[in-house]
Chain A
């Protein structure tokens, strides 16, 4: 099953099971979404439950919040995470805080799906990676699955979680194929996945960098370096125990994501590791991410900005002094 099909399957399964689940977003109905994720859902569930919206990011998220507070389990799609910035007021001030400000009276079981990711030269406003912005906000849960199985299981869990969950998908991952269980298996939020076991260095990667790290690890293997790869899958809550345990075993760590390195999610992971595994670290924690520039259009510049498998490999080698 592809990553795209896995998202669709989770949505369809939840909608089949539960009248309270419905989806809305721009161009998600007849067109099936700009990434073709929701194709076929209109035909199966009809226009009441598969709702095309006007271009109104604040109202899309905000109406999702209201429907969630009224007892439904909406899933809203923000076409590109660059446009998520328009809905941040509703996500940050509203969805994240109603439960708290009401002293625990209200709940907001809303799922916001969005996607981004570079590597196809759209320029600076269609491919950013902004997941770290959301992890900074208490009251939100944030997931960023890298595998078809994970996106299927995590999206399901997100829909049934009573908190607002922001789920990041990556454009280049949609065609990626992977094994998935016959029956949809929910995956708990806050549980990391060990992608590959190793003994010399732990690469903690999210999204497309998981796949780039796998390539780098194979090459490192040839040079005699054994690489463990861990994908947290959920950024909030974060499975700190799994990350720390792995680094205590390998004594070295690389954190990797496609977002800009400065203030990226990797900075938080590095801070957790230095605090909880300080005595075990044999090398400075390496960080891999995008260079500090908006995404350029010209392919050579874009590729220069975003982290490549070679960047992961170089970071791995630095940790072992090669």
Chain B
């Protein structure tokens, strides 16, 4: 995807790029679901179908040199930040061509070159890191920002509170992106947080600036993320980005979602960010299909690349324990 010019209204071409990015993630994850069910993929995988506009809008607003920490639901963030689909897919297959050389897997995608400080399988695990990285950028007077993605469920863990407090206290160059999909595994928001329908109240408690945004509208996400990143970059302090979004599929691949009503699933499906963008761009069937075919082709090539990738040697397991 081409880098977006800052400080001007998003033109059609940019939005088309966003659509390409979102479709890539969607088709990538659908293929991953399919391959997992076929028994092709080891491990524990979580897709972010329904949340693509958050990944694309936020990652497109980031600058070169910015860093980020992701979560167990990391494919979209990683792809949106530009890690080649082949490298991400190869990682899911445990190949040495993978973006973590086969040491990480779906929940531990890394790409240092693109500022990916790691997807984290411990809820809230990366939040202190972006606080510290944002502190380093401030101490060194660098125009860089450290950003963390995390879910609504993560707002209940200690690292969240300690990190927001510290970041605001020290005005670190940090952006906290809360992807509120109203579910923490099988637990609905109303069962896990007293402020589940307005997470920016969490930021209020730390006197942190917050920006609320509709996470199904990629244009709005981009604008909000850009504003948050520039505020943090200027050294004025961290920002809490409160993003309302929807998880259209299960918590993990294979989750039968026995805990979820049909109405809730339908509501998520009705808020598909790709449909929204397609309507915004007024794309006809043929036009849309051309985008879709392109995304599918990239994913199929990634699959073929990954399936033909190189397995690590068993003894490689003893490398990289120490620097």
Contact = CB atoms under 8 A, between A and B. Distances in A.
Interface stretch (B120-128, B189-197, B215-223): B120-128
A66 B159 contact: no
B131 A106 contact: no
Contact of B132 (A49, A68, A98): A68
A137 B165 CA distance: 29
Nearest to B165: A54
B129 A163 contact: no
A161 B111 CA distance: 23
A62 B118 CA distance: 14
Most B C-beta atoms less than 10 A away, residue of A102, A106, A162: A102
Interface in A38-68: 48-49, 51, 53-54, 56, 58-59, 61-68
A105 interface: yes
A74 B110 CA distance: 22
A248 B117 CA distance: 47
B323 A64 contact: no
Interface stretch (B7-15, B26-34, B133-141): B133-141
Contact of A66 (B98, B135, B165, B169): B135
Interface in A68-86: 68-72, 74
A69 B323 CA distance: 12
A63 B140 CA distance: 15
B72 interface: no
A67 B117 CA distance: 11
Nearest to A22: B139
A4 interface: no
A48 B98 CA distance: 39
A94 interface: yes
A99 B323 contact: yes
Given A94-B125, A98-B118, A101-B110, A62 B131 contact: yes
Contacts of A163: 322-323
A104 interface: yes
A125 interface: no
Interface string A99-113: 111111111110000
A264 interface: no
Contact of B117 (A59, A69, A139): A69
Contact of A62 (B104, B108, B163): B163
Given A72-B139, A138-B321, A56 B132 contact: no
B132 A62 contact: yes
A93 B129 CA distance: 13
Interface residues of A, number: 43
Interface in B140-192: 140, 146, 158-159, 162-163, 165-166, 169-170
A63 B166 contact: yes
A263 to B, nearest CB: 22
Contact of A70 (B101, B102, B136): B136
A90 B166 contact: no
Nearest to A141: B322
A70 B321 CA distance: 19
B118 A102 contact: yes
Given A59-B159, A66-B146, A70-B137, A103 B100 contact: yes
A89 interface: yes
Nearest to A100: B320
A68 B131 CA distance: 11
Given A66-B136, A139-B321, A102 B125 contact: no
- Interface hub of A63, A98, A99 (most chain B Cβ within 10 A): A63
Interface string B24-59: 000000000000000000000000000000000000
B308 to A, nearest CB: 19
Nearest to B67: A70
A18 B118 CA distance: 27
Interface in A12-41: 22
Question: Which 6 pairs across A and B sit closest by C-beta, in order of nearness?
Answer: A62-B128, A103-B101, A66-B132, A63-B132, A66-B129, A59-B162
6 contacts: A56-B165, A58-B159, A59-B131, A66-B135, A90-B159, A103-B104
Given A56-B162, A66-B133, A106-B112, 18 more contacts: A59-B165, A62-B127, A62-B129, A63-B163, A64-B132, A68-B132, A72-B136, A90-B125, A90-B128, A93-B125, A94-B122, A94-B129, A98-B118, A102-B320, A104-B103, A105-B110, A105-B111, A106-B117
